[in-house]
Chain A
């Protein structure tokens, strides 16, 4: 789960990390109030749960009331990566001396938290890593112990930080690590972390991705989850144990098991089609979940063809087939051509059920992929 920038900044403030003075604006009045409070120069930042807001025109400066109003209207009319902008964070504009990047994430190599610091903030970390590797330093954190001062100093020394700056970085990074642990983060970033002309270190942005697995276990995180809850199709499906990710293709995929589903996506792409979704209902295949899956996919106008590919391990294929027949009857009119491939436990029985109801099924995955892509082209 990702948090909004304004939520992350609140967490920073609570723990003593300086952030620019600001306020959340949902209405034009809010925006004016915020401006009067933190002006005369402000930044207006769209609050949506995605990266790349700046590039999408979702972050703008303003220096007068009329300008604030105009920018607010402009931003709230935006949709960034499919997400409509409903709220805007208005904050004081900082006088910047230098921008840094600080992030804590998980090292896939060491399987431990890793601290990354860069003396080039404000840009894409991947870009920095590629173009200015010397501007980046990192270290793996031993979770059994506190994050020691000397560990942080060692990282900073690699970047030739002036001692006076380094001294301020140490407690700031330790506080970030506290947040990282307390909120079960997968990723915590401050980008940019600004050194102002007055010599202050200020977190000008904040990104926090919380481990979904921690949501039900830890009360601190649970509280934030309620505040951040979004009513998206993805989240609604999750309640039924269905992993669903919308993609921008034309072939809807319904499968069981994350690996099988992803493999099906790959095969569709290789065949020249484009997956319209990742839909895995491994948490429980029953007639109702099949109906929900089929209905969700078929209602999307971009979907021109649907592929149901199920390899039953523990799942009995005859039961799946009965579920498919039930789902089709329940939904009534499915406009897209349906391609079905059933294999595994009781597969022959299942294919018989499908046939008895006037449907057809493919014998191999290859054939099913070929058919579903071809049908999507028409």
Chain B
């Protein structure tokens, strides 16, 4: 078990013939991801390294039974690709593209509420169920199969944390990079119930950052509904307010989404707080050993 994707996921790559699309399609396939089709308007009828290419997602789905997609489409057209994935009722779609305007994402978010499609991203590294399937651009070799579910707003930092876990021999069930934008398809609160229900996941790790309300909402949810131990690492304590630190979602506005408010909410919810990426692995290790838990107050 795992969440969102596994060996049986039938994956279609939207934008398969582009530079990013082709590079990562190869890498995903090498990892074992079952890529059944590609979409590239105008290139229908051709194939990419043995993968049939279609002009539209609808025909790719009809011909191959694809149920999951990943989008490698430039920012100007990526929103359109997301709508297409929702329209064609894919179970999961991952949008890697960075730079979709936030007002477009707000509209997409409203559309998602009326559908059963789960959108991961945009502006995200994707998700991976180690040993089964990778949908994204993560470096495969740092992951290892195991009992830790990870959700992160930062790609680079999730690699750092996962690397720390894997080095200690602790594997992951599914690692999801939700993305660094202010408005995105999936938030922590969407993933928490999935990790809670997944028998393979024993500990949940949330890597958050300043800006937005994801962590505060997650804390609320954890408090009332999550029985598994949760470890969290929040970055941005030293970031000045009003400035954007790389991610569009990191800007602190109107006093909301501060480091302190997130830490406070998570502490209240009984989440174990780490102060460094390495400490995440240390705390998880202690939890897995069943020793006395070390909750770090910041």
Tally chain B residues at the interface, Cβ within 8 Å. Answer: 60
What are the residues of chain B within 8 A of A159 when measuring CB–CB? none
Least CB separation from A255: chain B residue: B156
A213-B101, A262-B209 known; A257 vs B156 contact (CB < 8 Å): yes
**0/1 string, A99-111, CB within 8 A of B gives 1:** 0000001101101
What residue in chain B is nearest A144 (Cβ atoms)? B110
Contact indicator per residue, chain A 350-364, by CB within 8 Å of chain B (1) or not (0): 000000000000001
Distance to closest chain B CB from A190 (angstroms): 15
Decide: A213 near B75, CB < 8 A? Known: A108-B256, A184-B103, A187-B253. Answer: yes
In the bound assembly, the distance between CA atoms of A126 and B109 in angstroms comes to 28
- Let me know if B245 and A261 touch, CB within 8 A: yes
Interface residues on A, range: 35 or more
Q: Among B158, B248, B277, which residue has its beta carbon within 8 angstroms of that of A365?
A: B277
Contacts of B218 in A (CB 8 A): none
Q: Is the CB of A216 within 8 A of B76?
A: yes
**Residues of the A chain whose Cβ atoms lie less than 8 Å from the Cβ of B239:** 262, 265, 278
Which B residue's beta carbon lies closest to that of A315? B139
Q: Which of B11-19, B83-91, B230-238 contacts A (4 or more CB under 8 A)?
A: B230-238
Partner of A109, one of B152, B158, B213, B277: B213
Contact of B238 among A143, A257, A266, A343 (CB under 8 A): A266
A243 contacts B by Cβ under 8 Å: yes
Beta-carbon nearest neighbor of A103 in chain B: B254
Bound Cα distance A108, B180 (Å): 13
What residues of B have a CB within 8 angstroms of the CB of A260 in the complex? 154, 156-157, 160
The answer to the question of B153 belonging to the interface, with a C-beta cut-off of 8 Å to chain A, is yes
Residue of B nearest to A280 (CB): B246
By a beta-carbon cutoff of 8 Å, the part of chain A in contact with chain B is 51, 105-106, 108-109, 111-113, 125-126, 129-130, 142-144, 181, 184, 186-187, 211-214, 216-218, 243, 245, 247, 255-263, 265-270, 275, 278, 280, 282, 311-314, 343-345, 364-366
Could you list some 14 contacts between A and B, CB below 8 A? A106-B182, A108-B213, A126-B254, A143-B107, A217-B101, A257-B155, A259-B153, A262-B239, A265-B239, A275-B238, A278-B245, A282-B156, A343-B163, A345-B139
| Residues of chain B at the chain A interface (Cβ within 8 Å) | 75-76, 99-103, 106-107, 109-110, 125, 137-139, 141-142, 152-160, 163, 180, 182-183, 207, 209, 211-214, 217, 235-240, 242-248, 250, 253-257, 275-278
